[in-house]
Chain A
Amino acid sequence: MIRVALPYHLRTLARIDAEVELEVKGPVTQGAILDALEAKYPMLSGTIRDHVTKQRRPFLRFFACGEDFSFVSPDAPLPDPVASGEEPFLIVGAIAGG
């Protein structure tokens, strides 16, 4: 199972209070994880990436295994520890005040 950590406001929207566990078929990529996340929690559609372009919203970042994956292709495979569930895929809100 893939583990995904969401920021507080998205956990509230999805009515969950912990990490999300997802079944991802095929290669474990950002795109595959977000497809699975939105299928399981449709209320999150549009909150992480644009409905149409599928581009990451500008004030969100993607981290895993201590690295920044925000600018990596959504089709690129993520590290093995993410694919195995050893490490979570982190969706993080940018620190921008407010």
Chain B
Amino acid sequence: MSKIRVLVGTRKGAFILTSDGKRAKWEVSGPHFGGWEIYHAKGSPVDPDRLYVSQTSGWFGQIIQRSDDGGRTWFQPGTKPGEPTKTPDGMPMGESNKFVYDTSPETGKPLTTHQWYDGTPHPWEFKRVWHLEPSLTDPDTVYAGVEDAALFRTTDGGRTWHELAGLRGHGSGSKWMPGAGGMGLHTILLDEKNHKRMYIAISAAGVFRTDDAGKTWRPVNRGLVSQFMPDPKAEVGHCIHHVAIHRSRPDVLFMQKHWDVTRSDNGGESWREVSGNLPTDFGFVIDVHAHEPETIYVVPIKSDSEHYPPDGKLRVYRSRTGGNDWEALTKGLPQRDCYVNVLRDAMAVDSLDPCGIYFGTTGGQVYASADGGDSWNAVVQHLPGVLSVEVQVLP
């Protein structure tokens, strides 16, 4: 029987939840890296025991951790216990912590400014890694979305990281601005059918697409409307909260924006709103059913200044029609006095049948559904605030 491993990043460490394929009984391990913010943890689709973790702190900066045994042991790439601490030519290692924007004349772009909250220019400064996206084909290759927004890549298992500077150098950076959580690159979507195509999303800049494996990028935001911008339909500046695709249809994208749930059927060339009958179209997460490409999930949040569910009821909304027609999923979820949030990277789906859905809350609960969302159980209830949830199906 298959085994399920859920990787949970929280404000104070990482936790690993494991179960068999029934997804009824769970074991919890952790905290790993106790006391640190774990913005994201994700496993390689090629080698599921290869895990990557973004460990970060306002005091000590950015750390990348890696496990080669499914989370039993961890090390910072390049500093594995017992390995020499210097390269053969005498250079110290520890480069896995190093995220430095590429300003070289050969491959880089100059560091410019983006807009600060008050509209004034603000210099680009690295703060943390928000999202790690392992390659679909190579366990040593991983993409990292960072704050201030930029995209980095490692091709040596996390030992060294190099910026794909064409994105930051697109030329529209002066119009990008931070959302409430910072100016993070939070979504990285790899096209399984066309390995040269990739989508990223930035809050608050928009969605960008590359068709040449990351060398050049262009914004794909036509159709989005954001009232907080001077020109609500501008090419860049939109506060994207999350974007999801189904692996079988990489040209179809579903987006939870600051306000509005939208979809694109042409690789981001145009977007249309599908908020339909949602009680509010503000929210952070969005995800797609593993076997039904038109079945999508969101968790509506009351408003941009009230980050909790409407009426104190935690409800996942499911649409089986790719949007517009939504049904509330409430069985097993608190339906009174609930004022938690579900952050943008805190929902995931597994590939079992029936499809499992998982999400974590800022109140420290992780909920799981083993029946496509019809019913829910709290796997854990008292973790630190959850920042991210990913799930793996293991043989």
**Partner-B contacts on A (CB < 8 A):** 7-10, 13, 15, 38-48, 51-52, 57, 59-60, 93-94, 96, 98
Q: Beyond A40-B85, A43-B79, A59-B58, is A13–B63 a contact (Cβ under 8 Å)?
A: yes
Residues B220-255 near A (CB distance < 8 A): none
**Partner of A46 from B36, B62, B93 at Cβ < 8 Å:** B62
Which of B81, B92, B94, B100 has the most chain A CB atoms closer than 10 A to its own CB? B94
**Partner-A contacts on B (CB < 8 A):** 35-36, 57-63, 76, 78-79, 81, 85-86, 92-95, 97-98, 100
CB-defined contacts of B81 to chain A, threshold 8 Å? 15
| A93 CA to B92 CA, complexed, in Å | 25
Would you call the interface of chain B mostly helix, strand, loop, or mixed? loop
CB-defined contacts of B86 to chain A, threshold 8 Å? 39, 42
| A8 CA to B36 CA, complexed, in Å | 11
Shortest C-beta distance, A84 to chain B (Å), equals 26
Q: Is the CB of A45 within 8 A of B94?
A: yes
Q: List 11 A-B contacts (CB under 8 A).
A: A9-B35, A9-B59, A9-B60, A13-B60, A13-B76, A43-B94, A45-B97, A47-B60, A57-B61, A60-B59, A93-B60
Q: Is the CB of B92 within 8 A of A38?
A: yes
Q: Beyond A46-B61, A57-B59, A93-B59, is A39–B85 a contact (Cβ under 8 Å)?
A: yes
**Partner of B98 from A39, A51, A57 at Cβ < 8 Å:** A51
| A48 CA to B97 CA, complexed, in Å | 12
A-B pairs with the 10 shortest C-beta distances? A42-B94, A45-B94, A46-B97, A47-B60, A43-B79, A59-B59, A42-B93, A43-B76, A42-B92, A51-B98
> Chain A: which residue is nearest B60 at the CB level?
A47
| A44 CA to B78 CA, complexed, in Å | 12
Q: Is the CB of A47 within 8 A of B35?
A: no
Q: Beyond A39-B92, A42-B78, A43-B76, is A51–B59 a contact (Cβ under 8 Å)?
A: no
| A82 CA to B16 CA, complexed, in Å | 43
> Chain B: which residue is nearest A46 at the CB level?
B97
> Chain A: which residue is nearest B34 at the CB level?
A12
